[in-house]
């Protein structure tokens, strides 16, 4: 997950520093999409990177840039989904997500506070 995320951040920095290119935004979205396939929680850092970059863009370029990132992410999501369907892994993937790891989705603020205490101790 880290490699595509770092690649996406590098493209975000290049977008801010240089000329705006829609293809660069799509490539960034593809990398974020790849990272999401590896670990969906990377959506939170992706959102953070995008929000931090907004003040460095003008309105005229922010919209096509955002649409490019979203398009790249959707392309990655569609490609991964198509691969899962074609290989017959779509059903088993949902079975694992919904039935095998249910405790993965159940957390509370108390659990988070406990984890933070353990890390900072």
Instruction: Tell whether 112 is covered by a domain.
Output: no
What's the pLDDT band for 120 if we cut at 50, 70, 90?
A: low
Instruction: Tell whether 82 is covered by a domain.
Output: yes
**Tens digits of per-residue pLDDT, 21-58?**
889 999 999 999 999 999 888 999 999 999 999 999 88
- Computed over every residue of the chain, the mean pLDDT equals 88
d(CA 44, CA 30) in angstroms, rounded, equals: 16
Provide DSSP, 50-106. HHHHGGGS-HHHHHHHHHHHHHHHHHHHHHHHHHHHHHT-HHHHHHIIIIITHHHH-
Tokens, residue 53: 């970059």
Instruction: Tell whether 15 is covered by a domain.
Output: yes
- Check residues 16 and 71 and name the one with the higher pLDDT: 71
What pTM was estimated for this model as a whole?
0.80
**Tens digits of per-residue pLDDT, 84-105?**
999 999 999 989 888 886 776 6
- pLDDT for 114: 74
Instruction: Tell whether 38 is covered by a domain.
Output: yes
Tokens, residue 39: 């670990």
Instruction: Domain of residue 82: give its range.
Output: 2-89
Number of structural domains, the chain? 1
């Amino acid at each position: 997950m880290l490699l595509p995320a770092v690649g996406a951040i590098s493209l975000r920095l290049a977008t801010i520093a240089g000329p705006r290119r829609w293809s660069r935004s799509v490539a960034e979205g593809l990398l974020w999409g790849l990272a999401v396939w590896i670990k969906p929680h990377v959506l939170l850092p992706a959102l953070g990177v995008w929000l931090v970059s907004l003040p460095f863009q003008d309105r005229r370029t922010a919209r096509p840039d955002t649409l490019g990132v979203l398009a790249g992410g959707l392309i990655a999501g569609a490609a991964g989904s198509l691969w899962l369907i074609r290989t017959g892994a779509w059903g088993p993937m949902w079975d694992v997500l919904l039935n095998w790891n249910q405790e993965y989705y159940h957390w509370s603020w108390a659990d988070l506070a406990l984890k933070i205490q353990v890390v900072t101790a």
